[in-house]
Amino acid sequence: MTTVMVTFILVMVLVSGRFIKYLAEAAAGQIAADALFMVMAFRLPEFLQMILPLSLYIALLLVLGRMHMDNEMVVLHAGGQGNARVIRSLIAPVLVAMAVVALFSLYVTPKGDAEVNRIFEEQKGRSVLELLTPGRFHVKGDGESQRATYAESLNREEGVLENVFVADASFGDDEAGRILTVWARTGRLVQDDNISYLELRDGFQYQGKPGAADYREVAFETARVRIGNERSSSRPPEVRGRATAELIEDGSNKAQAELQWRWSLILTIPIMCLAAIPLARVNPRQGRFLRMIPAVLGYMFYVGLLLTMRSWIADLPGKEHPWFYSTLWIHLLAGIAVFGLYYGDRLFKRRTRQ
């Protein structure tokens, strides 16, 4: 129950922060508002696979710390039930947590990330008009051309944009610096031969290069501007959205970095759960939250080292990398640290006696 409550709180915090980020992108016209909840739903497994190990770790610190505060652990030790008995009681929940995280990291999360990437790619195919928010400038394009669109207001009853401004800028070799600007009193979306147009009425068109004297001004009653062809530069394919079997066959450093990260999420659970048992040991006079902050900081340092190694492996050129570029060494160091938590005092006392 403590794990569930901690997971719920951390998920709410993380989801709220990420939702605000996507909401800002929707306000800027980069993504449609109706796609926000789909993106968040597909990203939820990724949040859970990161939060569940930390939630179980914090829950163990809280529960075992309370048992130390209530002297229940003293009674257990007096009855011959030591740390081995506590470890045996944690086998089932640890295996369940490892199975859930393995399912998410190796199968569910890659599929969710692939769907998120697909949604963002679809958003790039939508026209500026579909993502247009009245009262804000929206810019889409790539390195060769860009289009800025603005509408002062939207008459939802008639489906008409009012005081529409459209500017196309070209940066190619032939048309470098040339700008086509259109202003119209109203505009509406029309379809003709399965092609979308923005039909403008009562406006002016200006074409030329800034600083040159060859500007052309044309007044029109009705004009059409083709929309739906604006494209932003494509996002690079996300390796985290690829299936685990594909990463194993790939063999590139980026694939190996992602593969090691997925397995690392699973291995952190038993290591940190073993560390929670001695870290939760507190004096009743000290309070059970005494070691909470250093214990959580230790977890963050552990995960930070894994993320750093992941970045180092991914940045290596080619497919070959030195043997010491592996997250296995970080897990080994964490295991040695856990061993020190259990037997460090005994070894220190033995050396002191000698």
- What pLDDT is stored for residue 176 in this prediction? 60
- The Cβ of residue 101 has, within 10 Å, a number of other Cβ atoms equal to 25
- What pLDDT is stored for residue 35 in this prediction? 79
Give pLDDT tens digits for 92-102: 999 999 999 99
Question: Rounded to an integer, what distance in angstroms lies between the CA atom of residue 314 and that of residue 238?
Answer: 12
Instruction: At 258, give phi and psi (nearest 5°).
Output: -70, -40
Question: Rounded to an integer, what distance in angstroms lies between the CA atom of residue 266 and that of residue 97?
Answer: 9
| Farthest CA pair distance, the chain | 100
- What pLDDT is stored for residue 237 in this prediction? 53
Name the stretches of the chain with pLDDT < 50: 230-236
- What pLDDT is stored for residue 214 in this prediction? 76
- What pLDDT is stored for residue 234 in this prediction? 45
- What pLDDT is stored for residue 348 in this prediction? 64
Question: Rounded to an integer, what distance in angstroms lies between the CA atom of residue 133 and that of residue 220?
Answer: 25
Residues facing 39 on adjacent strands: none
- What pLDDT is stored for residue 347 in this prediction? 66
- pTM of the entire predicted model: 0.68
Assess contact for 69 and 44: CB atoms under 8 A.
no
What residue spans define the domains of the chain?
A: 2-124+236-353, 138-226
Q: Give the angle subtended at the CA of 69 by the CAs of 66 and 70, to the nearest 5°.
A: 90
Question: Rounded to an integer, what distance in angstroms lies between the CA atom of residue 72 and that of residue 66?
Answer: 8
Which is it for the CA torsion 58, 63, 68, 73, positive or negative? negative
Which is it for the CA torsion 149, 155, 160, 163, positive or negative? negative
Give pLDDT tens digits for 103-135: 999 999 999 888 888 887 776 655 555 556 677
